[in-house]
Structure 1
Amino acid sequence: MATAAVVDPGFARLYGEPLLRMPTDLYIPPDALEIFLDAFEGPLDLLLYLIRRQNFNILDIPMAQVTLQYLKYVDQIRLHNLELAAEYLLMAAMLIEIKSRMLLPQRKSDNDDATGDPRAELVRRLLEYEQIKVAAYDLNAVPQIDRDFVRPELYIEQSLVPKWPEVNAADLQNAWLDVLKRAKLTEHHRISRQELSVREHMSAILRQLQSSRFVEFADLFEGNAPVPIVVVHFVAMLELAKETLIEITQAEPFAPIYVRLAYSPA
């Protein structure tokens, strides 16, 4: 009986033809797997990639499938670079522990109705890592200087830019005083004529001295009186002293000056 020949389908096809053996000129870099793993930031990044690629619900992770796929990656890199795989092996041990705890029957404790989900801590770490990764991606999308745009620089000759001196408070005060000084030079002064009687002021001084024995010199003059009146009042006082109607006395040098009526014996 003739049997049909079994055709070897090969392990791959090239231009429609099956490949029955590995090409001798095919070169695979020894660090190809390491370069692939360097694309991940760590075990959480690789685990999150496996979950999202399979469209698994991160709140209900099928630990058996995820652990199996994760271990395949770890087994490959462990043969080439054990130092690179050390951090990934720690996560693999955690996945195996979670998977083993899920296989055990749940026991009710005295305080709680049921034990917690063994995947809860892993889910929490994955969610936090994903939030941070999205935030980092959004932050990286913000335009950065010297990466996305260049700040324009314009060089100007120093001689073309006028540099004004700074004005301080003392300079401003001196300028204001100079303005006042020049304003006084152009100020108009009007002289008015006023008739004043020395005799009337002499009588006023005698009336003022009759009510007091001694009157201080400064008290004879009103503080707000105009200058012409003060001058005439002083001349009137000198006339009274000249006619010996009043006496101007002083107890000692630099002592107050007093004015009184001249003493006349009874």
Structure 2
Amino acid sequence: MERISYKLEHFEGPLDLLLHLIDKNKINIYDIPIVEITAQYLEYVRNMEREDLNLVSEFLVMAATLLDIKAKMLLPREVDEEGEEIDPRAELVRRLLEYKKFKLMGEELAEREDGAIKHLYKPSTLPPEVAGYVPPVDLDSLLDGLTLAKLQRIFEQVMKRKEDKIDPIRSNFGTIKREPVSLEQRIGTVMLYARQRRKFSFRQLLEGQADRLEVVVTFLAVLELMKIGKIRLSQEEIFGDMDIETLEPEGQEEALDLEGLEDFEG
């Protein structure tokens, strides 16, 4: 019968050969039939081509280990400090499980490497000014060493500065609301001014006005008095001052007919 030879390169080491035999025989790795596995392992080693003595020596060391475990299995079991029997195969099982785990991880990484070759990556097309952008403030260095206690102190200092800016007296004042400007009352005021001075300029009439709204209402009052024939307005040049003169005879004051006139509110 022709002897079958095996190349050592088919297996990555003695543990790889043992896993091959366990998988081939569908053996429970936690309950290895050491006699059967040792016999099959020695058969593989005897039929291997002895091209590399260094490589063969690794398999021979494992063969010696299997023979040692086989011998211990025939002897009475040793017990540990807790009185439990020590399984001579325990160390071998541990090494096989560890090797199997790393072998599976290696296969997973190899698959990922093969998959990565199929990916295409687009080179960066960022404009130079964008790629070279540097934030004006480095938050990492700015906040280096910042703790909740320091942050609380900063917050309290900011709030205190805000409180110091508040005037303790003026802050208690209420809100002053603008009262509506009565056009009817302003007409009466202007007419009284005209009766007292008889002739005056528009600029003189506006002296002492509080704000722009009162100026506007005063101008409307002048227009209303012109409309009902109580005063006359003249202007010698464009953009010049306007002269106002009352048309009401002195000493003959008449009531103003302001029916239908509405207050002007601002």
The TM-score with structure 2 as length reference comes to 0.42
Quick one: higher RCO (CA 8 Å, sep 6+), 1 or 2?
Answer: 2
